Structure 1
């Protein structure tokens, strides 16, 4: 986890991913570090090297908004990552951490999802656990050891690479989405549990977590290889649940008239009983421990 010096660790990770030529610097010659040197980031951001070093080392933790914006430009950060680094730079006393409590889904939201029998829908919590789903949403992810936890499904389920034909992209987006959902609250015990377990059990997760990619789950096309109906290409939209900060409603649709629409309709007919909304079952243990 990144509790001790989150801003410094973020800056260093992102600096090491930037190729010099992508920001107009020569790449020729021997470079002892991956990505940019500290002095190069400092020059691009218009701050002294000493000041930037203090930021990475955690001796300076709260740069001004102007400095953060300059660093974001120097590191070519995307909007989600820029918003994240601003959050990391804020004093801890200025952050509002919600009281720890069980995540519950609004009955009104459950009823709305239940009224979509032909549209898979799931509600995700802050750590991308499935808090609720409608019948077709359950059917889409059913049959895995970790059907109720999308992060563990990607990295710990032994059939994940078969279920997700584009596994590398899904894995990268899942970790970036987990960081975005967690925000700057690295003290969240649920997040610590997820990151701790996956860092031990999955080398791929460790590598992707160390990149500090930040990307909100918004909309995307995703391919699935479902055990009952074969390959599906579904488009999803992720919507913030304003009545429950940290929750996301994710709705999937197939292209009109596409083979995936026919497959989704078949999946619905195969799993139409029961049609009421169901809670996810407890995750089965990983056979590999």
Structure 2
């Protein structure tokens, strides 16, 4: 079941409920309040629009909103850059977008070349816009999902999905000691992506599946939180090398922003030793000791559909 795209009005209501008058220095003179956040009339007045117009915005009946109005609302609602971008994305979305099933994503040659250049000493994974694994090097695979076939990303129908793994796979949940923190980030980033690609049927189906199959995902999705995902920390209890703490950082291709190269670096010396053990283990089947990334997917021409 595909999840219905989030509307501008739904997002505005969820963010309005989050902001209290005290958060923005608004005096209430002790009057009783029936809503937890700002009232519509308060937000409208502070943003410089009429109450009727703002009400129509929340009801998705106002048509296109200007950038100036959206920026004013973002300022009053104390939205961060990712939430502000999401607000603009929702405002630009057509009222009833036609959902399409986009072609499955394929690697750009530059991304593959960079992944190969990292070799086995630096764990790395390439993710598509929906969090599906497009490729990984041997150590990236061993660190994040050694219970899954290394060659799985080569077949589009078998590609591991990081969101599915996080919420539906017990091995992945047990791997991450800070699962709660990372789960919130995954859900918030999926919402951010859904705002950028409101007509992507595969993405809507993924979100709908997770809402139906995971109570944790449904609970986190209902918060309405939005966030980009570029850097962070993973604390892991790895079944092969024990406790590992790594930072992840995401590298984007300017012309293909939905292909994300995620690189992992150790936070301390024990974690560095653990990554070296993983790298050595992945290189043991090669007589030249150069690692075993020979099965990375073949790159496609840069003009190929993504």
Name the residue aligned to 2:141: 138
Which deviates further from its counterpart, 62-71 or 9-18? Answer: 9-18
Helix, strand or coil for the counterpart of 2:12?
A: helix
Name the residue aligned to 2:87: 85
Distance 1:160 1:131 in 2: 18
Name the residue aligned to 1:285: none
1:268 paired with 2:279, answer yes
2:210 to 186, 192, 198: 198
What residue ranges of structure 1 are gaps of 5+ in the alignment? 281-289
2:174 to 155, 162, 185: 162
Helix, strand or coil for the counterpart of 2:18?
A: coil
Bigger RCO of structures 1 and 2 (CA < 8 A, at least 6 apart):
2
Instruction: Confirm or deny: 8 A CA contact 1:235 1:252 kept in the other structure.
Output: yes
Name the residue aligned to 1:181: 193
1:45 paired with 2:57, answer no
1:61 to 60, 63, 84: 63
Distance 2:175 2:32 in 1: 43
Instruction: Confirm or deny: 8 A CA contact 1:130 1:148 kept in the other structure.
Output: yes
Name the residue aligned to 1:211: 223
Helix, strand or coil for the counterpart of 1:252?
A: strand
* Change over 3 Å in CA distance of 1:98–1:188 after alignment to 2: closer
Deviations 1:72-105 (A, max 9, x none): 0111000111112112222639x9x998212111
How many residue pairs get matched?
276
Name the residue aligned to 1:119: 122
* Change over 3 Å in CA distance of 1:144–1:206 after alignment to 2: farther
Q: Following TM superposition, by how much is the alpha carbon of 1:26 offset from its aligned partner in structure 2, in angstroms?
A: 5.3
Root mean square deviation of aligned Cα: 2.7
Instruction: Confirm or deny: 8 A CA contact 1:14 1:211 kept in the other structure.
Output: no
Helix, strand or coil for the counterpart of 1:76?
A: coil
Name the residue aligned to 1:228: 240
TM-score by length of 1: 0.85
Distance 1:138 1:44 in 2: 50
Distance 1:121 1:171 in 2: 20
TM-score by length of 2: 0.81
Which structure has the larger Rg? 2
Distance 1:277 1:76 in 2: 48
Name the residue aligned to 2:15: 14
Distance 2:93 2:12 in 1: 17
Distance 1:205 1:196 in 2: 10
Helix, strand or coil for the counterpart of 1:247?
A: strand
Instruction: Confirm or deny: 8 A CA contact 1:124 1:130 kept in the other structure.
Output: yes
Distance 2:227 2:74 in 1: 15
